[in-house]
Every structure is written in structure tokens, then in C-alpha cells.
Amino acid sequence: MQVLPPRDGKLPIQLKAHTNTLFSKVRRMKGLATSYLDAVTLHPMRYVEDATENEVRKTTSVSFRAKQRRVEVDYKIGDSAGQTEFQSAHDALDAAAAVYLLRQLPLEKGGELCFDVYGIRRLWRLSGKVEGREHVSLAIGDFEAWHLAGTAVRLDDFRHRREVHLWISDDRRRLPLAMVGAIEVGAVRAQLTGVSRPGEKALRVEGRETLKW
């Protein structure tokens, strides 16, 4: 994840992702996505992604209409194109916007969270709470962190549920340390391996270190 220079009152957050060697045996994916946040509220205004999954290109453009509480989606999978829209209950975010917004919240044990989040051409209702503070050991260092846990339910089909966990450092940087989620083939984990800010020394590790807690 990288914060790009502001553009026309928007703060772009760029994400790059690809599967590792082990997971590529199940599913090969490489993608680039950008969330354009309102520079004041940090709510998304637009989200675009371009990915290749098992040699099939998939592109998506999402518009967030906050006043109408509407999310409009244009997508293309291979040679097939489509459009859809969703009605959100309150706030609607994408995954990148959700992480950055959660970093701004005053967290405390037992605090509850609920918002709608876009993902995989669908809108999900994510409900959860702050489980408490935990010690997280990473290859780049040890941290005291807030553990947030929740369940995402697909709004157009309640049978589809995904468990989500996020750890945010309990310091002034509020770093997104690790995330664990579930997809149809099992659990997927992301962990922080480096961080840098303008004017500061980069903190980064190389190799195949594992996350322990």
C-alpha cells in the first residue's frame, strides 16, 4: 500500500498484490488497485482495480455516491462486461479506505463497529468489535496492538459470510500490522514487512520471516 500525492482534493491510496509461490498452485493473481479518498473525510469517492487471475483479466470501476448511499459498479471479466449498483445503509467503503479510516478511530476494548464495504463486485455488511490489546511479534519488531474482529455478510445473499481480523499498532503511527480473512479456499493472511515515510528511515525486512503471536 502506498499513499500517492493528492489530486483534485482526493487522496489516492494505491495497492499492489500478487500471490506467493505456494498459493499460486491454487490460484494465480496479480493486481493493481487505487482508492481515491476524500482528503478531509477519508471516505472513498472512487475505486478502480485491474487484475489478472489465472490468465483472465478483470477490471472494475466503483463510484461511491455518499449522499444517495449508492455504490455503482462497472466491471469487465475477460470479454464479458456488466454493471450493477448497491444501496448502503450508512457508510460505504472499499478495503483500502476501511483500513485507513479505522486507523483514525479512538479504539477501546469492547468498542463496536459496523459499516458496508465493497469487495469482489459485491457489497458486504461488516460488523465487529475491538477485542482488546495484544502483543504482536513481527520480523520488523514487537508491537502492542489493537485486535479488531468481525464478520462480513454479503448483502445480496446472507449465506455468504467471511470472518475478518485486523491488528493496528497502539502508537502514534497506527500501523496496520496484520490482517487475516477467509475466502472460499481457506484463510488468507497479510502482514506488514516494511514501512517508510518521507524524511524518515525506512523500516523493512527481507526474506521469508513469519508472523507469530
Residue 196 in contact with residue 202, Cβ under 8 Å? yes
Residue 81 in contact with residue 88, Cβ under 8 Å? no
- Nearest Cα residue to 40 out of 11, 12, 69, 63: 11
- Give residue for cell 499492489: 16
What is the C-alpha separation between 160 and 174, in angstroms, rounded?
31
Q: Which whole number is the average pLDDT over 29-48?
A: 94
Q: Check pLDDT > 50 for residue 210.
A: no
Distance of CA 159 to the CA centre of its chain: 22
Q: Is 207 or 33 the better-scoring residue by pLDDT?
A: 33
With cut-offs at 50, 70 and 90, classify the pLDDT of residue 208. very low
pLDDT at 207: 46
Q: Which whole number is the average pLDDT over 86-106?
A: 90
Residue 34 in contact with residue 45, Cβ under 8 Å? no
Q: Check pLDDT > 90 for residue 100.
A: no
Average pLDDT along the chain: 89
- Nearest Cα residue to 34 out of 69, 8, 64, 4: 4
pLDDT at 36: 97
Q: Check pLDDT > 50 for residue 213.
A: no
What is the C-alpha separation between 124 and 182, in angstroms, rounded?
14
pLDDT at 185: 64
3-state SS, 102-118, equals HCCCCCCCCCEEEEEEE
How do residues 180-201 score in pLDDT, each as one tens digit?
A: 987 666 778 888 989 888 777 7
- Nearest Cα residue to 45 out of 91, 107, 104, 1: 91
